[in-house]
């Protein structure tokens, strides 16, 4: 039987950083100090972020394949963001911004 009590606090990683429930609460407190986020809400936010990033990465790879590229470039990620998101994408960011 599958364990339904998964520990999301240590499961999701972005780069070298681990997104934890405590991290989510700290980030929320930076923007709204009086905001209280429960562990369940933080877990949902972590799951949503993970799914969003998975979809963004997948679409970026598809954009790369479509242009017959060998590796994902900034332009692939920008196009994926434009296609899947309502975020404002800055096209004029130079290539060494990261």
Place of tokens 């990465």: 57
- Enumerate residues 6+ apart whose C-beta is below 8 A from 13: 19
CATH architecture of the domain covering 8-84: Orthogonal Bundle (1.10)
Q: CA angle, corner 17, sides to 45 and 34, nearest 5?
A: 45
The stretches in the chain having pLDDT less than 70 are 1-17, 87-98
DSSP classification of residue 94: -
- What is d(CA 65, CA 57) in angstroms, rounded to the nearest whole number? 12
3-state secondary structure of 75: helix
pLDDT computed for residue 39 by the predictor: 92
pLDDT computed for residue 62 by the predictor: 95
The domain spans of the chain are 8-84
- What is d(CA 11, CA 6) in angstroms, rounded to the nearest whole number? 9
pLDDT computed for residue 1 by the predictor: 43
pLDDT computed for residue 52 by the predictor: 87
Alpha helices in the chain (DSSP H): 21-31, 39-66, 74-84
pLDDT computed for residue 93 by the predictor: 60
């Amino acid at each position: 039987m599958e364990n339904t009590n998964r520990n999301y606090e240590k499961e999701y990683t972005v780069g070298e950083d681990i997104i934890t429930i405590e991290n989510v609460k700290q980030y929320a407190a930076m923007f709204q100090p009086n905001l209280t986020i429960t562990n369940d809400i933080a877990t949902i936010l972590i799951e949503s972020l993970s799914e969003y990033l998975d979809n963004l990465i997948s679409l970026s790879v598809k954009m790369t394949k479509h242009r017959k590229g060998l590796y994902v470039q900034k332009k692939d990620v920008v196009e994926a963001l434009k296609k899947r998101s309502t975020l404002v994408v800055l096209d004029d960011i130079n290539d060494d911004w990261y």
